[in-house]
Chain A
Amino acid sequence: MADKRPDEIVHNRLQMLRTERGMSRQQLADELGVHYQTIGYLERGEYSPSLYLALKIAALFQLPVDAIFALQPFPTLSPEALMSGMR
């Protein structure tokens, strides 16, 4: 239900940030006050959070919102990309 338009995809780094901090989906869900399956939907990009939830996620990870959510896909961390970033 509630299918979104294909041009309204919001990309995110939620899974990377969560695993980086050693949190389970349940822990993150408890911190944000949402159901644990909602975290899965967010990570897979199947659900775009409200501004309120996005701001809560940003505050939780102590990062700006646009470091976590973006309209364009985030660049992959391929070795080439890392090397070019180090130069």
Chain B
Amino acid sequence: MYTTFMSESDTQYRQALDRGHQRLLSGPDFFALRGRTPRRWLVLAVCGSLALYFAGSPLHKPWLTLLGLVLFFTSSVLVRFATRGVADLPASALDERQLVVRNAVYVASYRLAGGLVVLVIGVAELLPGLVVPALLASLFALLVTPSCIVAWTEREL
């Protein structure tokens, strides 16, 4: 037998789960996407959709931009479900290991954001006409970067 041992922080964790996070963190939804291989395919889909979005401007094909946007939002939502929202849920909903993962992911995202800023500055210097799409694509990328890093790196979700 074992004794029950609950503290105030446990209660907060439970309440957070009850507020709809339980389904995302522990529910069976999108179980098929939670394996490492499908998660990595989703990350590649996010990258591909951003490339389509960005390519629409220089090629003067608005439908390509629109297709890129639709694919981006679809794949980014799926990435979040596939990663159980570990990168996006509030800290009160996560346990200590998930917080460690999230903090490490945020550090990596911060570094990537720095790289994207350098990239956008480079585009502005070399191809002034593509600054706006490059900037928007970078902003879209940053929205989903933490979830993508979780999806790519975590062994088990």
Which residues from chain A sit less than 8 Å from chain B, CB to CB?
Answer: 1-2, 21, 23, 31-38, 40-41, 47, 49-50, 52-53, 56, 59-62
Interface contact A33-B2, CB-CB below 8 Å: no
User: With contacts A23-B2, A34-B95 known, is A1 near B101, CB below 8 A?
Assistant: yes
Categorize the interface residue count of chain B. Answer: 20 to 34
Q: Is the interface of A mostly helix, strand, loop or mixed?
A: helix
Q: Is the CB of A33 within 8 A of B149?
A: no
| B-side interface mostly | helix
Q: Hey, which bits of chain B sit against chain A, CB under 8 A?
A: 1-7, 9-10, 13-14, 25-26, 94-98, 100-101, 103-105, 108, 149-150, 153-154, 156-157
Q: Compute the total of residue contacts between A and B using a CB distance below 8 Å.
A: 64
Question: Can you list 12 A-B pairs, Cβ within 8 angstroms, ordered by A?
Answer: A1-B100, A1-B108, A31-B4, A33-B14, A34-B96, A35-B25, A35-B98, A47-B97, A47-B100, A50-B96, A52-B96, A61-B2
Residues of chain A contacted by B95 (CB below 8 angstroms): 33-35, 38
